[in-house]
């Protein structure tokens, strides 16, 4: 068990907090401040307990010097001030005398946010990736600025960067923040120690990113429903014709292997909603053998019924990846159907593993029907794969 905020004494201490303020910014304006709000419980706890709070975050990617002008965290500091109702000092540097002086002059309960950690990825026009390749000097330097490190950025927990792993490995004390703590508890309940029957649902388009999840889930889930673009690689593995549907050829053998290993645990669609182009047109339905000129863009009505039936009585459901191109009005039925089936489960523990499935549930109006929607697409996916998250691993145990 990792240390949490309740395990550390923060009064009068310089507490470095890695948050996830990677918010969408358009023309200098923040278009969605949910990530800022999500960090508030940890920040408030630290302020109320008399800490000197030093916040850091990445914002997007920095690939060249010119990116820096648009990717400053300055507007985030302003928004955080409003959300907290307390001053937040913004330091427009990632290291050096100005930052060090600002920190040394801090009084308890004060808050500093310093500049985008990814500014360290480009120096004098050269791509150096000090932050995102976990440069050891940088992690050590940042760790030297504080007494305690709190990791509350779940979205980057699957990456070993200087601002999470680098700091954690070089500081006397570390713990996870409230947001990361909740994510870990929810993911453990939804994937590692689920109440049975446990049904996993895997869909979406990035087959190579997700196929590893199936391997881990085969050991844990009672049934694995596969839909979305993912399904066609499995159809191909079964020898079906898939027309122009999404397929990752180099994963067909792996799909065959999983189907064999699954011993009936994998539930595939039995029909498909198709179009001749990737367009929002009226679907043409077929079974699982598709004509050469069509592509499957959603599961069909019989599959929706099959999946609803499969989900009946589930006590735990973990879902990652939409059942079809839900962004198209004509191809959202499969994803809506699965959302409805999950919403009707009553007292089951239901989890969405972030990314596009979270976007789908929110867009289709089902967000409040789930027990937990993870804030980290990549991190929750790697957790579902059974991988260790380096950003969490580097934190001290209780």
Measured N-to-C along each axis, helices 230-237 and 207-218 cross at an angle, to the nearest 10 degrees, of 70
Per-residue contact flags (x/-) with ligand AMP for residues 262 to 301, judged by CB under 6 A: ----------------------------------xx----
Residue of 324, 337, 376, 391 that binds ligand AMP (CB under 6 A): 324
Could you tell me which stretch among 77-85, 172-180, 236-244, 323-331 binds ligand AMP (CB under 6 A)?
323-331
At residue 149, the 3 state secondary structure works out as: strand
Nearer to ligand AMP, 300 or 322 (CB): 322
- Residue 337 binds ligand AMP, judged by CB under 6 A: no
Cα atoms in the 13 Å half-sphere on the side-chain side of 48? 9
CA–CA dist 155, 310 (Å, integer): 31
- Residue 325 binds ligand AMP, judged by CB under 6 A: yes
- Residue 321 binds ligand AMP, judged by CB under 6 A: yes
**Is 296 assigned to a binding site?**
yes
CA–CA dist 186, 350 (Å, integer): 9
At residue 179, the 3 state secondary structure works out as: helix
Min separation Cβ 125 and ligand AMP, Å: 33
Nearer to ligand AMP, 7 or 327 (CB): 327
Number of residues that bind ligand AMP (CB under 6 A): 15
Catalytic site residue 353? no
**Is 222 assigned to a binding site?**
no
User: Which CB contacts under 8 angstroms, 24+ apart, belong to 372-375?
Assistant: 372/182, 372/186, 372/190, 374/154, 374/183, 374/186, 374/187, 375/20, 375/35, 375/38, 375/154, 375/155, 375/179, 375/183
- Residue 322 binds ligand AMP, judged by CB under 6 A: yes
Per annotation, catalytic residue among 355, 376, 377, 391: 355
Catalytic site residue 79? no
Nearer to ligand AMP, 67 or 327 (CB): 327
Catalytic site residue 206? yes
Catalytic site residue 337? no
Per-residue contact flags (x/-) with ligand AMP for residues 213 to 242, judged by CB under 6 A: ---------------xx-------------
Angle at 321 between CA 395 and CA 180, to 5 degrees: 20
**Is 45 assigned to a binding site?**
no
Residue of 139, 166, 354, 355 that binds ligand AMP (CB under 6 A): 355
Could you tell me which stretch among 19-27, 50-58, 157-165, 200-208 binds ligand AMP (CB under 6 A)?
200-208
Residue of 205, 262, 364, 367 that binds ligand AMP (CB under 6 A): 205
- Residue 369 binds ligand AMP, judged by CB under 6 A: no
Q: Which residue of the chain is nearest ligand AMP when measured via CB?
A: 204
**Is 59 assigned to a binding site?**
yes
User: Which CB contacts under 8 angstroms, 24+ apart, belong to 326-332?
Assistant: 326/360, 326/363, 326/364, 328/279, 328/280, 328/297, 329/280, 330/273, 330/280, 330/281, 330/282, 330/283, 331/273, 331/275, 331/280, 331/283, 331/297, 331/298, 332/298, 332/360, 332/364
CA–CA dist 188, 195 (Å, integer): 11
Q: What residues contact 75, with CB distance under 8 A and at least 6 apart?
A: 25, 28, 29, 30
Binding site as annotated, residues for ATP: 210, 296, 327, 354-357
Active site residues: 35, 206, 355, 378
């Amino acid at each position: 068990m990792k240390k949490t905020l309740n395990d550390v004494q923060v009064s009068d201490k310089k507490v470095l907090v890695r948050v996830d303020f990677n918010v969408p910014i358009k023309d200098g304006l923040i278009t969605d401040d949910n990530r800022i709000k999500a960090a508030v419980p940890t920040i408030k706890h630290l302020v109320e307990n008399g800490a000197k709070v030093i916040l850091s975050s990445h914002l997007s990617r920095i690939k060249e010097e010119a990116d820096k002008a648009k990717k400053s965290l300055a507007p985030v500091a302003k928004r955080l001030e409003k959300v907290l109702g307390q001053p937040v000092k913004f330091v427009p540097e990632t290291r050096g005398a100005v930052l060090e002086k600002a920190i040394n002059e801090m009084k308890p309960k004060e808050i500093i946010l310093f500049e985008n950690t990814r500014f360290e990825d480009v120096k004098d026009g050269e791509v150096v990736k000090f932050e995102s390749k976990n440069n050891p000097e940088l992690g050590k330097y940042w760790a030297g600025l504080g007494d305690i490190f709190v990791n509350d950025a779940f979205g980057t927990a699957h990456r070993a960067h200087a601002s999470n792993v680098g700091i954690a490995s070089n500081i006397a004390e570390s713990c996870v923040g409230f947001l990361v703590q909740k994510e870990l508890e929810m993911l453990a309940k939804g994937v590692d120690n689920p109440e049975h029957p446990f049904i996993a649902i895997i869909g979406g388009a990035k087959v190579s990113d997700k196929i590893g999840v199936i391997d881990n889930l085969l050991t844990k889930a009672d049934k694995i429903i596969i839909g979305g673009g993912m399904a066609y690689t499995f159809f191909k593995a079964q020898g079906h014709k898939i027309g122009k549907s999404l397929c990752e050829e180099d994963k067909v053998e792996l799909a065959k292997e999983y189907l064999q290993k699954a011993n009936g645990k994998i539930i595939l669609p039995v029909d498909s909603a198709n179009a001749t182009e990737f367009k929002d047109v009226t679907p043409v339905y077929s079974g699982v053998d598709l004509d050469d000129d069509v592509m499957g863009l959603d599961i069909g009505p019989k599959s929706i019924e099959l999946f609803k039936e499969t989900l009946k009585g589930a006590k735990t459901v973990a879902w990652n990846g939409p059942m079809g191109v839900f962004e198209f009005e004509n191809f959202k039925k499969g994803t809506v159907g699965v959302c409805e089936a999950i919403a009707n489960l009553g007292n089951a523990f239901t989890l969405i593993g972030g990314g596009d499935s979270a976007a789908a549930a929110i867009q289709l109006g089902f967000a409040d029907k789930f027990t937990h929607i993870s804030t980290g697409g990549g991190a929750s996916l790697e957790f579902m794969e059974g991988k260790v998250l380096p950003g969490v691993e580097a934190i001290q145990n209780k």
